[in-house]
Structure 1
Amino acid sequence: MKQDKAVVVFSGGQDSTTCLFWALKEFKEVATVTFDYGQRHSKEIECARKIADELGVSFHVLDMGLLNQLSPNALTRADIEVEAGDDGELPSTFVEGRNLLFLSFAAIYGKQIGAKHIITGVCETDFSGYPDCRDIFVKSLNVTLNLSMDDQFVIHTPLMWLNKEQTWKLADDLGALSFVREKTLTCYNGIIGDGCGECPACVLRKKGLDDYLASTEAGEES
């Protein structure tokens, strides 16, 4: 039986779109919330809006521009290069406090529309070292949100223990493989679909897809 109402923290990328398809299967009513934090590509918000419209779910944008002032990073500043972290350093794409704020505001928004369930695409398996993608952080914040608002929210993380290959498999199991591949925006250079093929996000996405397609071909041959 489907549960009542959920809010998906939604960027229009591979992970959050896969989570949106998961939520549509699990919940009677699904809303999306997207955050404008001064990211380089306004195309990300446009892509998210288009996907939400196509799938027939509500779409709400919250202004989080303060993040741009407080946490300079490669996703919001054109003068900062997109670089993977070396020697234990976090990648230049890490936005301090982003998931803390996003999930908190998603819960506040959820309370206004009567949604007790918050879905996010964070993942500890392919998380690039981001501390706010860890399971322990999500569980801790879930308790804090419930105490702060005297409510009973549940934060769902369908991708938490999946690598990118398994995330593609989930999309396929949900009947959304082609949709996710062709219509989502993961690329740091703002190219929808398979992206630029060179930035860290595209490299991770492509490797996962290649691994998944190879595994399905091997399964068909055996």
Structure 2
Amino acid sequence: MTDKVVVIYSGGMDSFTVLNRALKDGKEVFALSFDYGQRHVKELTCARNVCASLKVKHKVIDISAINQLLAGSSLTDNIDIPEGHYEADNMKSTIVPNRNMILLSLAVGYAVSVGAAQVYYGAHSGDHAIYPDCRPEFVQKMNDVCQIANYESVDIFSPYLTVNKTAILTDGLSMGLDYSNTWTCYNGREKACGKCGACQERLEAFAENKITDPIAYEQ
């Protein structure tokens, strides 16, 4: 018997690696993706394609109505996506209020319903500077709450919480993963912009692993 886990799978390179790490570790994966009105909705197409190819159980849930409550993010509102390094202060405009708490809460409910003991998500150390809901203290507190929120305890597990995107990619490459069907850019255009913080961090990870990113960029 394999252990059941829910993987929050955005379609980006981090969650793609998390998904495959869970499979590599022998877990029975229930992948869960969310349409929360993000302009880079192209990531969900990647998620669908990958799950279909891996024959992984996959749900894409439309929660875009929550944007009536969660205003002010450049990922969901008519606000320009900032350019520059991922840790620059202007990247704070990409914060979606309370996003990970909401997504984790839904994923934990799904985990209870399918009998999964863990929820995996792809927080990592590169997110810590800008995103409070990716920091170790947040993960620990959410994990504490999820032990008592239901009759069935569910663990919140972030396998890459203490390492950066370069290390995530290194692990993915060790598993032989193909990153051509992942999407990281915060802009939802045909090609990745190469200028937003998400693209900058991704390109840095590939450069530090001394390989070329397989996706197409505008320049």
Structure 2 segments unaligned to the other structure (5+ residues): 212-219
Q: Percent identity?
A: 37
2:124 is the alignment partner of 1:123: yes
Counterparts of 1:63 and 1:190 in 2: how far apart (Å)? 17
Judged with a 3 Å threshold, the aligned counterparts in structure 2 of structure 1 residues 127 and 54 are, in CA distance, closer, same or farther, namely farther
Aligned to 1:112: 113
Judged with a 3 Å threshold, the aligned counterparts in structure 2 of structure 1 residues 135 and 201 are, in CA distance, closer, same or farther, namely same
1:92 partner SS: helix
Judged with a 3 Å threshold, the aligned counterparts in structure 2 of structure 1 residues 199 and 97 are, in CA distance, closer, same or farther, namely same
Judged with a 3 Å threshold, the aligned counterparts in structure 2 of structure 1 residues 155 and 27 are, in CA distance, closer, same or farther, namely farther
How far has the Cα of 1:87 moved from its partner?
Answer: 8.3
Q: 2:199 aligns with which of 196, 202, 211?
A: 202
Letter in 1 for 2:205: G
How far has the Cα of 1:71 moved from its partner?
Answer: 1.8
2:169 partner SS: helix
Counterparts of 1:16 and 1:49 in 2: how far apart (Å)? 13
Q: Which has the higher contact order (CA 8 A, sep 6+)?
A: 2
How far has the Cα of 1:142 moved from its partner?
Answer: 1.2
Counterparts of 2:27 and 2:93 in 1: how far apart (Å)? 38
* 1:160-199 correspondence to structure 2 within 5 Å: 160-176=161-177, 179-180=178-179, 182-190=180-188, 195-199=192-196
Judged with a 3 Å threshold, the aligned counterparts in structure 2 of structure 1 residues 171 and 90 are, in CA distance, closer, same or farther, namely same
Aligned to 1:211: 208
1:23-59 CA deviation, whole Å, 9 max, x = no partner? 1011331110011111113322222111111111011
Aligned to 2:53: 54
Counterparts of 1:195 and 1:186 in 2: how far apart (Å)? 8
Equivalenced residue count is 208
Contact 1:5 1:27 in 2 (8 A): no
1:158-191 CA deviation, whole Å, 9 max, x = no partner? 1111112111101111211xx12x1100011235
* 1:1-222 correspondence to structure 2 within 5 Å: 3-72=2-71, 73-77=73-77, 79-83=78-82, 91-176=92-177, 179-180=178-179, 182-190=180-188, 195-213=192-210
2:50 partner SS: helix
Structure 1 segments unaligned to the other structure (5+ residues): 215-222
1:128-183 CA deviation, whole Å, 9 max, x = no partner? 4100001111111111122111222111111111112111101111211xx12x11
Contact 2:7 2:120 in 1 (8 A): yes
How far has the Cα of 1:94 moved from its partner?
Answer: 0.5
1:149 partner SS: coil
1:129 partner SS: coil
Counterparts of 1:69 and 1:63 in 2: how far apart (Å)? 14
